[in-house]
Amino acid sequence: MKRYSKEFREEVVTHSYIHSVRSTSKHFGISTSLITSWRKRKAEGVGLENKLPDRTHLRKIDERELVKYLKSVPDCPLVDFAREFGCSVQAVSTALRKFGLEDKSKVTRTKKKGVTHTPST
């Protein structure tokens, strides 16, 4: 997903008030829905800043911390690991495999209450 600077967004919104949204879309090469969204955000006073912070650094899971947590709570589901380390379930699963630790990939979530369980085999 491409991120646009605040200045560019302001320029697009200003241009769209002078010209039509459709012609602004063609002029800048962006979708009409994006322009409409920016106009709406400006009208509501929310501002045109990026909604999400830049993700220039993805957090890596420290092997020592992971081993320490695994020893303290050996039957912990991946969801709890993810919450503890502030990352996704996939990141925890990948780290466990990378470090050659217990394979917890069979832990799943049910859709009802977010309850975790290990399927019986």
The number of beta carbons lying within 10 Å of the beta carbon of residue 96 is 19
Domain edges within the chain: 1-56, 63-117
List beta partners, residue 106.
none
Fold held by 1-56: Arc Repressor Mutant, subunit A (1.10.10)
Residue where the block lists tokens 């303290």: 72
Distance CA 64, CA 85 (A): 12
Give 22-51 pLDDT, tens digit per residue. 999 999 999 999 999 999 888 887 777 766
Residue 93, pLDDT above cutoff 50: yes
Least confident of 40-44, 48-52, 55-59, 93-97: 55-59
Mean pLDDT of 84-107: 74
